[in-house]
Structure formats: C-alpha cells, structure tokens
A and B are shown apart, each in its own frame.
Chain A
Amino acid sequence: MPNLDATFSALADPTRRAILARLALGEATVMELAQPFEMTQPAVSRHLKVLEGAGLIVRRVEGTKRPCRLAPDGIAGVDQWLAMLRQALAKNYERLDDVLATMQPEERKDRP
C-alpha cells in the first residue's frame, strides 16, 4: 500500500482528481490530458509526477511517449482507508450506544 500521506495530498488537488477521473476511462498521454484541462504539458507533467509518486498512477514507455494509467493497487489502498474511516465513525457511535445503555440501567428496563 502506498504512503497515505502522499496519497491524500495528491488527492487534495481538484485538477489531479479530475486527471484521475479521466484516466479511469483509459490510458492517456500527457498531450491527451493537457487538452481537456487547458493546461500546458509541463503543468500536466508536474501533476502526473505527484500522482505517480503517490502510487496512484503508473506510466510506461512507448517510443517517445509515456502514457499513464490508474494504478489499481493505489486506488484500492485509498478505498480501503476510506471505507475504514467511514465505518470507524459509525462503529464508534454504535459502541457508544452500548456504553450509554450500561450507564442508564434504569432506562433500559422501560424498553421492550
């Protein structure tokens, strides 16, 4: 699993999230990514470097091009973390319900 600090700072930028959404549709070159985002190729390259460093995308060499695509493991790592945190809050409060019930024994008797 990639370093989650790097992953989250990579995801904090809306352009990089948009690039990831574009790459979800399939592999793309820097030139193909630069067009819809109306960005220069060096600017796109900088974003790609951050995403690559965070383990969210992988790049391969094809002649002079370096097309990039989503790194399934990187996304899965984030996704696992997301799911864990969402569940953690809900789980905490379910547990708190139980703790509160033991603190209120007289109220419990009133319930069916």
Chain B
Amino acid sequence: MRKIVSLILLAIVALGIALCVMNIPFGAPKTKVGNHYINKGREETGAANIVTSVVLNYRGFDTLGEVTVLFIAAVGLSAVLATRKKKVEKEIEPSSMILNTGCRFLFPLILFFGAYIFVHGHLTPGGGFQGGAIIASAFLLTYLGCRGRRVSERRIKVTESLSGLVFIVVGLLGLAVGGQYFLNNFLPKGILLSLFSAGIIPIIYIAIGFKVGSEIAGIIDKLMEES
C-alpha cells in the first residue's frame, strides 16, 4: 500500500519536473552571470581558478554559511553522543608491525598532500574543503591502522574555533579597510598564477582547510569511541 502511494506520488513529481526541464536545454550557452565571472574574474579577484573566486569572493557569504553548517554537524554530533553511558574499555588487539609502520609513514605524506591542495586552491582545482577532507582521511588511516592512538580533543576544538574566527576576522577587516564591504578583497592581487596572489583568498582557504580537517577528524574520533 505504502509502496503504491509512493510510486504514484513520485510519478507525478517526475512528470512535473520533466515538463520543466524540457525548457532547460542541455549544453546551452552560458548565462550572463557565468559570463561575467569568467571574463572579469581574473582582474576582480586575481585567482586563476574561477570556481575558487566564485566560492570565496563573489559568493563568499555562502561559504561562510557552509563552514558554519559543518561546525553545527560536529557540535551536534558531540551533543547527541555526549550523554551515553561510559562503556567498559575493551581490550584492543594491537596492529601488526607492518601496518603500524606503514601508517605512521604515510600519515605525514597525506597531510602534506592535503596541505598542498588547499594552499594552491586559487591556482589548481581544489581548495579548503577538498584539502580538509584529505587531511581527515589521514587521521582515519591512523585510527584504523595504528589502533589505540587518539588525537587530543582539546587541540581539535581549539583549531576549529581559531580557524573559524580567522575567516570572520578577515571578513570584518574588509569592513574596516578598503572598500568598506564585508569580505572585500583588500589585499593586493599580485601576479596571476603565482602562489601569493588573489588577495585574501589563500588566507581564507588555509583557514577553511584547517577547520574542515579538524572537524571531520573530530567527527571520526567521536564515532570511533562508540565502537
């Protein structure tokens, strides 16, 4: 019964969406907004990666909201899992020597790779979120490979808070100096394609990289404690 009703409902919705999508041809020429970003993006923001300039400069407020959403998820997860009973510490079988050494060898390499991705966010595909996810995967490797090692929860919290504050303070500085707008790109734009270009974009992406990495590592840590 429930299946039939759901299928009918979905069929109606599908019909409606199909009628609407007919008017959006696939592969159509760019919209005026897209054109403006591609044509003017280099001079107005200084970043070679136009997606980065859209994410951090033109629509930087959305990115602030997104960072907040991830923060809420980490905080909410800690709040929900906080009131459970303390479980008996199980005897954890230590991992073999190959696994242990391999993980400890790979850990800084993965961190380095993640840092490369978010530092070069304005030059190559990538950025803070992608780099942060890679950093978190390094922590996941440590949890799975060398069992029994944990990251200090205090350090994760402090990193999260500080990086979030860096984002907001950089935005507020835009209010104080330069053109009096929040998130104004007030630092010099530099030469295209060099590392120190694009004003505040690399600074914010580094902050986001740290924040996302520490947040997802914190989420993994909390979930690992359950098992």
Do A and B interact?
A: no
B interface, CB within 8 angstroms of A: none
